[in-house]
Structure 1
């Protein structure tokens, strides 16, 4: 049986950020922590070993696969910061046109530094992702953000 690897845990978010070797990357991680916390109203929690998540929801696919995931989150990776938003909502693509310098994956948006992006658009992306997931998984998506 499949065991989900990325689970919410009790690791200390601040200790995780303090362990970032690159001072600029660490400074940006604190900026992102402040923006995500303020925008969601949710406390930051560690998910797995490297993802800082906010809120949570329970998903279940038609295949029977199910699990828990943060509503939104980020990870200060060595190369770029990974920002995690809900995939599958066209509003995300519209918002990204005014976001600033970034690249995208399926559910990730990658940035080099916070100075490269429009923080107001980041806040809109966070709100859009949370709203989308709460609509899609209404009984599992936790409190309103």
Structure 2
């Protein structure tokens, strides 16, 4: 099974100047819960943004750079290699990896942030009517989670 996990704001913004333009601890908590013990697949720039592999999960970097190596990550060079990875796989970003792997995805876990931010990196457009809505859970706004948001779990319509 290949899943995708993303947080995006209005206009599908996922990043600005190499970082997320918001702080939303509830999203990070959900991300950790869903991905721990599983495999995350990301591009090299996403790994650079993280600074290091995420603990308690298999970190895989998809890159065209044949020379790329990084401690604590497995490196693949072809999208088709994702199918050979074991366990539950989460496409983790960034924008190019999302775009290139959308056709492989069975489920999407989306944190939709109802706010407009400046952005230079975007999640690909998707038609929600092509997906079965498994769950939509409103996120709680509080002093740490200042933006209205909701958590979606979508499954590809067959």
Relative to its length, the structure with more strand (as a share) is 2
Relative to its length, the structure with more helix (as a share) is 1
Fold in common (TM above 0.5): no
For normalisation by structure 2, the TM-score amounts to 0.28
Greater RCO between the two (CA within 8 Å, min separation 6)? Answer: 2
